[in-house]
Structure 1
Amino acid sequence: MGLEIQKKKDGSLKSNWWYGRFEMDGRNHCINLGVEIKGRIPKTLRKQGDTAFECSRTLAGAKLKELQSEARNTKTAKHHLQELYEIKAGEDIALIPLKELEAHWEVIPSKRKRATQQTKRQKASIRQFREFIEANFPAATLMSQITRRMALGWMKDINDKGMSATSYNVKLSLLRGIFEQLGPEAGVIANPFAGIPYRALNTVHRQPFTQEELNQILNHCDPILRPVVLTAMCTAMRRGDCCRLKWESVDMEGGFVTVKTSKTGEVAEIPLFPALRSELEHLPRVSEFVFPEAEEMYRTNIHGLSWRFKKALKNAGITDTVVEREDTRMKASVKDFHSLRTTWITMALSAGVPMELVRRVTGHSTVDVVLKHYFRPGKEAFKTALETAMPKMLTGGGEEAPETEAEDQKSDDSNQELLKKIRGLLEFGEDLEKDAILRRLAEIEKELAA
């Protein structure tokens, strides 16, 4: 055990750096000491070299002693931590290797069942973190060995790659949560991600489509995509919920679609609009899924669906689909499949549909989410909706024009005639059957409406 020079078979240097070999926990360790070999190298290390060589040997020896001392101190600290943990918890510390971090994360309890796509994205983030540590801090193989400097290095690497603030914050939240949940069992003294600030969000909201754009999109969708897009237009469901829609969720007789949303787990109740009903009535029931081809594509090649929708937008002449962002080099999508959900909500609220009914359809738990992220009327639509709802005196419409005397008289005569009919119904009501009375009242109601 001691200093080493690594050479090739022909005797030439394999590396220009000193290596140190030492034993710990019954295992031999050989590491690069970071000290360059200089001067004339003797045939063996038992012999003395020139002054430059001996100076580099002295520096390497000092570095090796420093590492050995640090390793012994670390071992002692780990031993004391182990004893402290056993006293407090009555069990051993579970040393969690970084390569097993994904598996341990999967068993952490979650408030809601994790969606498949969400799980894939989060496991990818954990894998990227592990690969970063392996490439930059190879000595750290356990969760308990991750330091604050390593955590900051990982977050800086993400930031330098031009990732958006939203993605940055999601990854930070994920790793912070993992160390918070698993740390106490893995011997982590302090969460290395705690206190790292989130980046300020510069949210770019999706924009709704116009009615003309919706018609153009439908006209340019391929056979697999078209019924899925129509479903999104009529129900405000997310892409995954549309693709995985099951026949058991569709009540053709009652005229409702009832689904448990994949993202929030909330139950959404959606009226079956005539356009969607007509589409569903002509579909064969060959699977438990309403759109089996779209469901398979969503499950096996989700990018295929994105490509098809982008192609439909391009062929429909809709080009303002992305915008530049200030906080990242990546562009933000403002018109995509999810914009169909924004469109439905914006149209419904602009038309005066009560917020509570909108939330029953979308499955949102709070009003804030709907208003902040989905209600995006254009200026003209916003203006029209306000002018329709607000008093005329505020919007500048003035008093409604008074009816002419002839129109007044005509209206009075019509009302008098209807009153006579109602009076006659009341006078002879006792001689009529209940059903007959109801039918006559319905007729009178229609006449009043006309």
Structure 2
Amino acid sequence: MPLELRKDSGWWYGRASVNGKALCKNLSVKIAGNRPKKLSLQGDMTFERSRAKAQAELEKWQLELKRRTTAEELIQTVHEIRTGERIQSIALADAFARWLALPRRRQPSSRYVDQAKSWMTRFVAYLKSNYPSAREMDDVHSNMARTFFSDEQKRGIAPKTYNNILIFLRSSFGALQKDAGMAENPFAGLPTLEEDTVFRKPFSAEELADIADAAKTDPFIHPIIITGMCTAMRRGDCCLLQWESVDLEARFIMVKTSKTGELVQIPIFAQLHEVLTQAQKDRQEKNEKSPYVFPEQADKYQNNPDLITDRVRRVLREVGFSGEDGDGTSEKGCVNQKRKVGLRKASVRDFHSFRVSWVTLALTAGVPLEIVQKVTGHRTASIVMTHYFQPGREEFRKTLSGKLPEAISGQSEKPAPVVISLDEIRAELLAMKLKTWKTIRDGLVAKIPEPTPAAKPPAGKKPMLTVKAVEKDAAG
């Protein structure tokens, strides 16, 4: 009999078979009256009434399944006529492997692959527990997707995590929709949540100097921290930097970022040059054949990325950064902050803060946004300005007071002259393009002090040679 009673449930269940696949469903009819020992036996009148209701619901479900099967067969027939092949489905257990094997312009990072695998595994486990009849991708419907994300919200995950999972499942099911024979993407109609974004906080120039000094006591993490400070590169890009991307003679790094694949151009300043020169010397002494600038750190990062974060946190604690916002345990500032919603605390000071610091200090100093994007690899200015430009209140005030007229700022003294290094001038000149040269030129001119009126040289000293004088002397 297709009707079913369960000892641990007060509801009627129905069974059906479609294309050789056994299906079971709660018919949403409560069992009433006194249950007989077997369904083949007759119960009391109340029980038999509930049995009749359940039978009616079962027949409706069977008719719906029949209509669906007929529609699917029609689709199969049309598909066979057009392509010569039947539509194949994909088992949910194989969904992640099929997604990973999809052709791509650029392969995802190992860290994202691990995250994606955990998200898909969690969703499949949820279906197995709550919808055991769903075994293939085309068995998944929008109501299953909605209930999954409803339960995820009840579990207390942060909106950002919610959105990341939704975007992945939506895109993976969309990419496999045709191969899985799905009529629609079950995640297509689900909206993302508004995120409670917690921005990382930048370090000041003085704090960066203290961190660099403290890092010297840890030879393992010191070169990675200096590289992050001076290049604005992400943690993985610093650890996996290769010699083929480094031009010590020209003092430039040119590398594709692991996250976006954008080619970035980064000048090598004195502090980083010292670290890279030492790394090159160590490589020669050890006869190292690894392509990585920091082979030991690259190996550790590939096996356990969080080890790098832990070593950085250790240095930050030594400088005075620790604890959680508001707990009163930090000397300088917190490293974590509670979220309004979410299972994990937000990190506000970590390795990525070096990237935020670089962008904030550069833009505050007047470096053109185009130059900053050349270094960071961000495709849009809005990302830079929203997520990375995070000046502190005091720096914000000083910058504005130095730029705004006296009528607004109330300061009559002239701002201190801007010091610009030859390395910075060279970097900006090399970054010039047809569309940006005027902006870069104007930025450089604004940083160079006005020439003082020509003065007569002191008695007993020869005047400085000018270009015309040298040319005249050479011609003579």
What's the CA shift for 1:202? 2.5
Residue of structure 2 aligned with 1:151, choices 142, 145, 151: 145
Count of aligned residue pairs for this structure pair:
419
Residue of structure 1 aligned with 2:76, choices 63, 79, 82: 82
d(CA) in 1 for partners of 2:466 and 2:213?
55
Cα distance change on mapping 1:362 and 1:415 into 2, 3 Å: farther
Question: Do residues 140 (structure 1) and 134 (structure 2) align?
Answer: yes
Further displaced range: 163-172 or 93-102: 163-172
d(CA) in 2 for partners of 1:195 and 1:30?
27
What's the CA shift for 1:422? 5.9
Residue of structure 2 aligned with 1:318, choices 298, 318, 321: 321
3-state secondary structure, aligned to 1:122: helix
Question: Do residues 372 (structure 1) and 386 (structure 2) align?
Answer: yes
Q: Structure 1, residues 377-399: CA drift from partner, whole Å, max 9, x if none?
A: 11221222233344556533337
Contact 1:129 1:154 in 2 (8 A): yes
What's the CA shift for 1:260? 0.7
Tell me the residue number matched to 2:220.
224
Cα distance change on mapping 1:2 and 1:205 into 2, 3 Å: closer
Tell me the residue number matched to 1:289.
292
Cα distance change on mapping 1:51 and 1:218 into 2, 3 Å: same
Contact 1:35 1:59 in 2 (8 A): no
What's the CA shift for 1:344? 0.8
d(CA) in 1 for partners of 2:112 and 2:136?
25
d(CA) in 1 for partners of 2:34 and 2:469?
125
d(CA) in 2 for partners of 1:361 and 1:383?
26
What's the CA shift for 1:339? 0.5
CA RMSD, 1 decimal: 3.5
d(CA) in 2 for partners of 1:126 and 1:384?
49
3-state secondary structure, aligned to 1:432: helix
What's the CA shift for 1:159? 1.7
d(CA) in 2 for partners of 1:141 and 1:301?
34
Cα distance change on mapping 1:341 and 1:426 into 2, 3 Å: closer
3-state secondary structure, aligned to 1:258: strand
Q: Structure 1, residues 148-188: CA drift from partner, whole Å, max 9, x if none?
A: 21111122122222222222222222222233332234332
Tell me the residue number matched to 2:238.
242
d(CA) in 2 for partners of 1:333 and 1:27?
48
Q: Structure 1, residues 183-238: CA drift from partner, whole Å, max 9, x if none?
A: 23433223222232221123221111123322333344432222111100011100
Residue of structure 1 aligned with 2:353, choices 339, 343, 356: 339
Cα distance change on mapping 1:89 and 1:171 into 2, 3 Å: farther
Q: Unaligned stretches of 5+ in structure 2?
A: 323-333, 416-451
Query: Aligned runs of 1:202-213 on 2, under 5 Å?
Result: 202-213=196-207
Contact 1:247 1:289 in 2 (8 A): yes
Question: Do residues 303 (structure 1) and 306 (structure 2) align?
Answer: yes
Query: Aligned runs of 1:4-23 on 2, under 5 Å?
Result: none
TM-score normalised per structure 2: 0.76
Amino acid at match of 1:322: N
Contact 2:33 2:45 in 1 (8 A): no
d(CA) in 2 for partners of 1:420 and 1:380?
47
3-state secondary structure, aligned to 2:351: coil
Further displaced range: 93-102 or 216-225: 216-225
Query: Aligned runs of 1:358-369 on 2, under 5 Å?
Result: 358-369=372-383
3-state secondary structure, aligned to 1:376: coil
d(CA) in 1 for partners of 2:264 and 2:40?
80
Contact 1:162 1:330 in 2 (8 A): no
Tell me the residue number matched to 1:432.
474
Tell me the residue number matched to 1:107.
101
Tell me the residue number matched to 2:92.
98
Structure showing greater radius of gyration is 1
3-state secondary structure, aligned to 2:463: helix
Tell me the residue number matched to 2:398.
384
d(CA) in 1 for partners of 2:79 and 2:362?
57
TM-score normalised per structure 1: 0.80
What's the CA shift for 1:310? 2.1
Further displaced range: 382-391 or 296-305: 382-391
Amino acid at match of 1:72: K
Residue of structure 1 aligned with 2:173, choices 153, 156, 179: 179
Q: Unaligned stretches of 5+ in structure 1?
A: 7-12, 402-409, 435-450
d(CA) in 2 for partners of 1:312 and 1:184?
51
What's the CA shift for 1:129? 1.6
What's the CA shift for 1:328? 3.4
Cα distance change on mapping 1:71 and 1:178 into 2, 3 Å: same
d(CA) in 1 for partners of 2:97 and 2:392?
46
Further displaced range: 248-257 or 388-397: 388-397
Amino acid at match of 1:116: S
Residue of structure 1 aligned with 2:272, choices 276, 279, 304: 276
Further displaced range: 44-53 or 217-226: 44-53
3-state secondary structure, aligned to 1:421: coil
Further displaced range: 77-86 or 313-322: 77-86
